[in-house]
Amino acid sequence: MMILVTGGAGFIGANFVLDWLAQSDEAVLNLDKLTYAGNPENLLSLQGDSRYLFVQGDIGDAALVAQLLARYQPRAVLNFAAESHVDRSIHGPEDFIQTNVVGTMRLLQSVRAYWQGLAEGPRAAFRFLHVSTDEVYGSLSPDDPAFTETHKIEPNSPYSASKAASDHLVRAWHHTYGLPVLTTNCSNNYGPLHFPEKLIPLIIVNALAGKPLPIYGDGLQVRDWLYVKDHCSAIRRVLQSGRVGETYNVGGCNEKPNIEIVHTVCTLLDELRPKGDGSSYKTQIAYVQDRPGHDRRYAIDASKIERELGWMPAETFETGIRKTVHWYLDHQAWVTNVQSGAYREWVKANYAERA
C-alpha cells in the first residue's frame, strides 16, 4: 500500500509526510518540483527510509505522473502542490495560474485515467484529496459569521483566484467523471519548516537578525491560525473517513489580528532569546504600506469536520506558537540555508516599495 503526495517538500506537505510516516508504515511517494519553497532538507530525516521515495517533477507533466501512477499503484493521491504566497502572486500571477490551475487540471486528468483502469475493489477505495485554502471565500467584515463550506466563493487575489479555480476543477472532475475526490480548505498554517516569507517565520528571522519587523497597514487584519500538525491530523482524518465529493473546512479556532501575532512572537523571543541590551523585540516593529487588495478578515467554521469526523485541533495558539518559536531557535542552520540570494532579493523587492 502506498499514497502519492504532490508538493511534499513544501511547508505543509513536508510536515504531512513526516507525520504520516511517524504514525504509519504505509509508504509515501513524494512528487515535488522543488521550486523556491520546496526544500529537500525538510525531509532529510527520511534518508534511507525504505517507506519513502522522492521524485522531482511537475504535477503538470502528464507523462511523468502517468508513469508514477502505473508503476507504484497508490491507493490515494494527496495534492499539496501549489504556488501559495499572495505577495508573489501580485508580483507575478502567471506562475500561480500555471501551477494551481493548469497543473491541477493535468493532474486530475492523469489521476482519472489511472483510476478508471483500476480493478473494482481498488477503484472503489481510491481517493483524490485536494488541499486548499480559506482565502477562496474572500474577506469578512468584523461581525460576519465565519466561513462555512457553502459560503460564496469570492477570491480577491491572484493566488486565491487560482486556488478557487483548482477547487472548482476538482469538484467538476467528481461530478462529471465520478472521480472520488475530497477537498479541504484550511486557515493560516504556522509551525516548523515554514518558509520565512510568511508572517510568523519572517518576524522570528528578522527579530533575531536585528531587522525591522514589517507590519502591513494597521496590522489589524484578522486570520484564524492553525498549527500545521493539527492540519496534518485533519487531512489524515478526511482521507480516512471523509464523504466522497465533500469539502471540509479546517481551522484552528484562533482568530487573531496580525499585530497581536507579532506582539506574541516578540514576547516569546524576549523570554527565550533576550536581547543583550535588555530591550524588547517589539521596538523593531515597523508599519509599512499595505498589500494591494488586502483581505481584512478570515474566519473558519470547522463544525462540519468536528460533527462528521470527530476532528478538533489539539493545540491552542499559545501552545502552538511556543513550539514554533522554539523550533526556529533550535534550527538556525535550516533558516540560514533557506535564505538564499534569491530569497534575499525577493524580500528586498517586496518590502522596499512599502517602506
Q: Provide CB contacts within 8 A for 329, sequence distance 6+.
A: 272, 273
Q: Is the pLDDT of residue 27 over 90?
A: yes
Mean pLDDT of the chain: 95
Q: What is the pLDDT of residue 351?
A: 62
Tens-place pLDDT, residues 186-233: 999 999 999 998 999 999 999 999 999 999 999 999 999 999 999 999
Only one residue has cell 497581536, namely 260
SS3 38: coil
Provide the annotated active-site residues: 134-135, 159
Residue 314, phi then psi, degrees to nearest 5: -90, -25
Q: 2-191+227-253+294-315 architecture in CATH?
A: 3-Layer(aba) Sandwich (3.40)
Contact of 20 with 26, CB cutoff 8 Å = yes
Instruction: Quote the radius of gyration of the chain (alpha carbons, Å).
Output: 20
Q: Per-residue confidence at 349, pLDDT binned at 50, 70, 90?
A: confident
Tens-place pLDDT, residues 123-165: 999 999 999 999 999 999 999 999 999 999 999 999 999 999 9
Contact of 196 with 205, CB cutoff 8 Å = yes
- The answer, as to whether pTM is greater than 0.85, is yes
Only one residue has cell 516599495, namely 353
Look at residues 87, 82, 77, 32 and name the one whose alpha carbon lies nearest to residue 54. 32
Parallel/antiparallel/unpaired status of strands 2-6 and 188-190 = unpaired
SS3 177: helix
Tens-place pLDDT, residues 233-255: 999 999 999 999 999 999 999 99
Q: What is the pLDDT of residue 183?
A: 98
Ordered by start, the domain boundaries in the chain are 2-191+227-253+294-315
Query: How many Å apart are CA 81 and CA 97, to the nearest integer?
Result: 13
Q: Give the whole-number percent of the chain exceeding pLDDT 90.
A: 90
Q: What is the pLDDT of residue 85?
A: 81
Query: Could you tell me the three cell numbers for 139?
Result: 474577506
Which DSSP string do the residues of 285-330 spell out, in sequence order?
EEEEPPPTT---B--B--HHHHHHH----S--HHHHHHHHHHHHHH
SS3 215: strand
Query: How many Å apart are CA 96 and CA 15, to the nearest integer?
Result: 22
